[in-house]
Structure 1
Amino acid sequence: MAWVGWRVIHVSNVGLMSVQQDNLRVVQGDLDVKIPLRDIFALIIEDLACKLTSRLMVELSKNNVLVLLCNQQYLPECVIHPVSGHFGQHMQMMKQLNWEEPKKQLLWQFIIKQKVLNQLIVMKQNVVEINRIEKMAEMCSSIEPGDVTNIEGQAARIYFNSFFNEGYTRSNLNYIENAALNYGYAILHSAIARTIVAKGLIPGLGIHHKGVRNPNNLASDIIEPFRPIVDYFVISSPPNGYLTKEYRVKLINLLHTKVLIDNKSQTVIRAIEIFLNSIFEFFDSGKSEKLKLPSIEKIKMYEL
């Protein structure tokens, strides 16, 4: 068993988890550990044989704890969210349903621009050829509302081909780097989805993403400027052959990485909330300066 940080708990090789006096109780042999439920942001379970009590699941839901159950490949397979979230959920949902399309298009422009800016930082940090960096910078300045010319996709090809062998594609699971990226993205995506539910929003109603089978289209939008955080780590510290438990814990700990948002250094967990709050302000006021997006310009990795 191992848990990391103050709010994110990673569990493996555990016999039983239950609740006791507002604490998560974890039992492993002679070891009996209790963690206050109010301190937990996420619970990531990699043990398929672990027993969970129904009362624990209810209490985790009450405390808006993100619960991820992983499959045999250690990838998140099941995400558990509370049925109800924000105290003003109906009002939040009605506001979201009335978000105007031109504002959505403008928001998507800002999201993709920040994503490409963060990708540029990763490229500069890894001393990528100047012509590639210049091309990316030029493309970044050409992003239009709604990204109608798909600068995001064009930039992604230049970006990933700057770090991996010729012939690399993000869909090729033979690359261990893709497994690492997918794991990190899945943790991020789930954390964002949890915060969206806690804010009383409709997770399936996206800004740009409209997948009919995607219950978390909005999280798929919000994650974009955060993805380079995972890239930054995986490119600078690639896995060696396979994803060890220690490496997976490091990917989980990226939620504690500090990024720059609203001119302050904040953890990714906090930055997600700040970004979402700024989206409310943007749609209410129509002022783009209300948007607060994460920058990895002064990224600070979490260290145990």
Structure 2
Amino acid sequence: MLCDWRGVPVGAMHSWGNTPTFVSRRQHAQVSMSLPRQKNAWMQIVKAKIRGQAHCLDICERSGGNELRELAKTVHSGDSTNVEGQAARKYWQYLFDESEDFHRKPGAGEGRNSQFDYAYAVLRGFVVKAIFSAGLSPTFGVNHHNRANYFCLADDLIEPYRPAIDAQIANLDIQDSTLNQESKAALVHAVNAQFNAGLTIPSSINDFAQQFGLYCESKQRALSVPVFGADDEEG
């Protein structure tokens, strides 16, 4: 991985020589994956993300966790009714109380929004690295399909891990809501923190990318998605 002066990943290097044959086979399977399997994968990802958000609320001693768990049960194939968006609106309202007057705005560049943007950028770098390591193409996602975005798959697979970062940021001192050297160090530490079952977040991401590769090749009937704070009991 290559980083800019802020330590944010901006590039990755991948060998052109001695490329294992499984890479081309896996990427062909990824591109050829049927639409129903893509939609099913996204459904499982959204369910896992919402359940992780519920756990984040629990450990931050906020209300709303059970409400989100019930919402997660209503996600259908491809999240056709946008339960992810419904859950997000409730989630951010519960996570930060009215006294903070917080509204999640990606790219806002100040306060807690800058902390989320920075941490998510570091997290995204780990996801991109895991995708390449798993022999997958970052271009072809299951839900994100923007032609201007080379990392559509990364923006899909990152979702279950966001709540783990959110919990860290929510517990930062409210008086230190700007992005400085101290908070950057805390955010990088958050991205390297434990996720589940003794795995760190980067290690879990590596495993998840490999699982997704097997799912693309139909070696797994269903995509097993990690859930922050719980094993994925729903499969």
TM-score, scaled relative to structure 2: 0.86
Q: Which residue of 2 aligns with 1:23?
A: none
Q: Which runs of 5+ in 2 are unaligned?
A: none
- In the alignment, is residue 107 of structure 1 matched against residue 41 of structure 2? yes
In structure 1, distance between residues paired with 2:112 and 2:192: 21
| Alpha-carbon contact 2:165-2:191 (below 8 Å) kept | no
Q: Report the alpha carbon displacement of residue 269 of structure 1 after superposing the two structures with TM.
A: 1.4
Q: Report the alpha carbon displacement of residue 249 of structure 1 after superposing the two structures with TM.
A: 1.7
Which digits, 9 at most, give the CA deviation of each residue in 1:23-70, with x for residues without a partner?
xxxxxxxxxxxxxxxxxxxxxxxxxxxxxxxxxxxxxxxxxxx12114
Q: Which residue of 1 aligns with 2:210?
A: 277
| Alpha-carbon contact 2:127-2:158 (below 8 Å) kept | yes
In structure 1, distance between residues paired with 2:109 and 2:118: 14
- In the alignment, is residue 223 of structure 1 matched against residue 135 of structure 2? no
Q: Which residue of 2 aligns with 1:164?
A: 96
- 1:226 partner letter: Y
Which digits, 9 at most, give the CA deviation of each residue in 1:123-144, with x for residues without a partner?
1122223xx3343222111001
In structure 2, distance between residues paired with 1:236 and 1:297: 20
What are the residue-to-residue correspondences of 1:37-76 with 2, within 5 Å? 66-70=1-5, 74=6, 76=8
Q: Report the alpha carbon displacement of residue 163 of structure 1 after superposing the two structures with TM.
A: 2.7
Name the structure where helix makes up a greater proportion of residues. Answer: 2
Name the structure where strand makes up a greater proportion of residues. Answer: 1
TM-score, scaled relative to structure 1: 0.67
| Alpha-carbon contact 2:110-2:178 (below 8 Å) kept | no
Q: Secondary structure at the match of 1:291?
A: coil
| Alpha-carbon contact 2:132-2:138 (below 8 Å) kept | yes
Match of 2:226 among 293, 297, 303: 293
Closer/same/farther in 2, CA of residues 242 and 255 from structure 1, 3 Å limit: closer
Q: Report the alpha carbon displacement of residue 212 of structure 1 after superposing the two structures with TM.
A: 1.4
Q: Report the alpha carbon displacement of residue 174 of structure 1 after superposing the two structures with TM.
A: 6.4
- In the alignment, is residue 117 of structure 1 matched against residue 51 of structure 2? yes
Q: Which residue of 2 aligns with 1:52?
A: none
Moved more, 92-101 or 214-223: 92-101
In structure 1, distance between residues paired with 2:13 and 2:207: 20
What are the residue-to-residue correspondences of 1:121-136 with 2, within 5 Å? 121-129=55-63, 132-136=64-68
| Alpha-carbon contact 1:189-1:219 (below 8 Å) kept | yes
Q: Report the alpha carbon displacement of residue 186 of structure 1 after superposing the two structures with TM.
A: 0.4
Q: Which residue of 1 aligns with 2:145?
A: 210
| Alpha-carbon contact 1:118-1:228 (below 8 Å) kept | yes
Q: Secondary structure at the match of 1:221?
A: helix
Q: Which residue of 2 aligns with 1:79?
A: 11
- In the alignment, is residue 198 of structure 1 matched against residue 130 of structure 2? no
| Alpha-carbon contact 1:81-1:194 (below 8 Å) kept | no
Task: Tell me the matched-pair count.
Answer: 224
* Aligned alpha-carbon RMSD (Å): 2.3
Q: Report the alpha carbon displacement of residue 77 of structure 1 after superposing the two structures with TM.
A: 7.0
Q: Report the alpha carbon displacement of residue 98 of structure 1 after superposing the two structures with TM.
A: 1.4
Q: Which residue of 2 aligns with 1:63?
A: none
- In the alignment, is residue 144 of structure 1 matched against residue 68 of structure 2? no
Q: Which residue of 2 aligns with 1:236?
A: 171
Q: Secondary structure at the match of 1:78?
A: strand
- In the alignment, is residue 97 of structure 1 matched against residue 31 of structure 2? yes
Q: Which runs of 5+ in 1 are unaligned?
A: 1-65, 299-304
